Structure 1
Amino acid sequence: MQLHDRTFLLLGATGGIGQALIEPMLAAGARLVVASRHPERIAHRAGVSPVHLELGAKDLAAQLDRLSAAYPDIDGVIHCAGQNRFVSLGEMSEADLDAQLNVNLRSALLVARHFVPRFERTGDGALVFVGSTFGSIGFPGYTAYCASKFGLRGFTEALRRELADTALQVIYVAPRATRTDMNPDAVNRLNQALGNAMDAPERVAAQILRAMKNNERRRFLGWPERLFVVLNGILPRLVDKAMLKQLPVIRRFLKPESPA
């Protein structure tokens, strides 16, 4: 995929992975329409156009219509917005559940539904979705997040096959644990207790760009996480047993009032 002289709509760029994508995208010669609930947090600079967009809103389709009319030169989308909540299912509020499903999954479908017909008319376009290792491996404390990311992975796979006879590109990138402000302290301490590696957002951004430049269909990040993804697909009982051993540690961090 060529990045130079293309205009990408970047979703989820006020923090973490999305923010880390801005500099390398600009360096590659791309222009960015950066959408956020808080566009005032995005620095005005050459090649960057901050816009307001509420991915979790009921009227997202109408917002996309207005944005698309204002920026008719968009020929690529990078969806790396996301929400998570590390909590047992019984303790999760309905608002938290809705937010994760709406932002992580529903918005991705609506964004693709909006741009695919437009890209098909022009004969070119790219859709990049940032998922998660937890889109392939269910993990305790992330039931809603896993559901949304499993859905996102399935959606991108189906969409890519639906568009296989077109020039449109659909790319799915699945990072492992990443050091972002989205993670509460309990999650950082859990990863440390389990010995889980955490990548810097800049490293993940570099891997996303590599997948785009190499026209990859999917890229899973991290080792041994990539191995676990394969094992979970063919021998899920092995992963079940491994997580059962980790469950007492996980439960400690699911209950902040308990000593950790």
Structure 2
Amino acid sequence: MRLHNRTFLLLGGSGGIGQALLEPLLDAGVRVILASRHPERVTHRQGVIPVPLDLAAGDLAGQLERLAWAYPDIDGVIHCAGQNRFAGLADMTVEDIDAQLNVNLRSALLVARQFSPRFVQSGLGALVFVGSTFGSIGFPGYSGYCASKFGLRGFTEALRRELADTSVQVLYVAPRATSTAMNPDSVEQMNQALGNRMDAPEQVAEQILQAMKQDQRRRFLGWPERLFVVLNGIMPRLVDKVMMKQLPVVRRYMAGK
């Protein structure tokens, strides 16, 4: 994927993995349209244009249409935005569930719906979606998040096959646990107790950029997480047993103890 002199819409670029992606994209010669609910908080700099966008809004389709009209040179989208709630399903509010499904999944469909026809027509375009290991492995305490990320993985697979006879590139990248502000202290402590490694956002951003440059269709990050993705697909009962052993620890941190 050529990056120099491209214009990418970056969703979720004001924090976490998206924020870590900003500098490498600029270094690669990309002009970045950075979408945020609070564009006034984005530091103004050369090559970055902050724009307002609320991925959880009911009128997101209209917002995207106006954005696409205002910036007709957008030829790529990177969807890094995400919502998460570490809790048992019974402890999640309807608002918690809606936020995860709307931001993590619904917004991705609407973004692709808006931009893919333009990319097909122009003969140039890329749709990059940041998923999660939890889009392939169901983990206790993350039922809402897993539902949205499993959906995102399936959507990108279907979309890639739907656009297979076009020049549009569809890439799905699945990081493992990442140290971002989205994770409360209880999640950080749980991962330490379970021995789960967490990557820095900068490490994940580097992997995403490599996958883009190498024209990959999907990339799963982290070891042994990549192995568990495969095992969960062919021997889910084995992964069930591992999760059962971890469950008391997970429940302890879900309860905030």
Q: Shared topology, TM-score over 0.5?
A: yes
What secondary structure does 1:223 align onto? coil
2:186 maps to a residue whose letter is: A
Paired residue secondary structure (2:8):
strand
Give the CA deviation at 1:29.
Answer: 0.4
Mapped partners of 1:175, 1:115: distance in 2 = 24
> What letter matches 1:136 in structure 2?
S
Looking at structure 2, the residues matched to 212 and 14 of structure 1 have their Cα atoms a distance apart, in angstroms, of 20
Which residue does 2:157 correspond to in 1? 157
Q: What letter matches 1:91 in structure 2?
A: D
Q: Secondary structure at the match of 2:137?
A: coil
- Name the residue aligned to 1:142: 142
1:42 Cα offset (Å): 1.2
State the partner residue of 2:68: 68
TM-score by length of 1: 0.98
- Unmatched tracts of structure 2, length 5 or more: none
Tell me the equivalent position of 2:212. 212
Give the structure 1 partner of residue 189 of structure 2.
189
Tell me the distance in 2 between the aligned counterparts of 1:11 and 1:178. 17
Q: How far off is 1:47 after superposition? A: 0.5
Cα deviation for residue 194 of structure 1 reads 0.2
Match of 1:58 in 2: 58
**CA distance, structure 2, for counterparts of residue 154 and residue 27 of structure 1:** 32
Q: Tell me the equivalent position of 1:85.
A: 85
What is the Cα deviation at residue 43 of structure 1? 1.0
CA distance in 1, matches of 2:168, 2:59: 26
What pairs up with 1:83-122 in 2 under 5 angstroms? Answer: 83-122=83-122
Identity across matched positions, percent: 75
Aligned to 2:43: 43
Alpha-carbon offset, residue 41 of structure 1: 1.9
Shift in Å, 1:248 = 0.4
* Gap regions ≥5 residues in structure 1: none
State the shift of 1:38 in Å: 1.1
| Structure 2 residue identity aligned to 1:168 | V
One-letter code aligned to 1:147: A
Q: State the Cα distance separating 1:88 from its structure 2 match.
A: 0.2
Q: Specify the code of the residue in structure 2 equivalent to 1:247.
A: L
Question: Which residue type is aligned with residue 28 of structure 2?
Answer: A
Report the TM-score, using the length of structure 2 for normalisation: 0.99
Amino acid in structure 1 at the alignment position of 2:67? L
The whole-number CA distance in structure 2 between the counterparts of 1:39 and 1:174 is 27
Give the match for residue 11 of structure 1.
11
* Secondary structure at the counterpart of residue 173 of structure 1: strand
- For the residue of structure 1 that corresponds to 2:107, the secondary structure is helix
Runs (4+) of structure 1 exceeding 2 A deviation are none
CA distance in 2, matches of 1:177, 1:41: 27
Give the Cα separation in 1 of the matches to 2:120 and 2:25. 24
SS in 1 for 2:208: helix
Q: CA deviation at 1:69?
A: 1.1
| 2:180 alignment partner in structure 1 | 180
1:59-118 residue CA offsets vs partner (Å, 9 max, x unmatched): 001001111111110000000000000000000000010000000000000000000111
Distance 2:40 2:124 in 1: 31
- Deviation track 1:167-218 (CA, whole Å, cap 9, x = no partner) reads 1000000000000000000000000000000000000000000000000000
Distance 1:79 1:214 in 2: 18
Deviation at 1:146, TM superposition (A): 0.1
How many angstroms apart in 2 are the aligned matches of 1:217 and 1:231?
Answer: 21
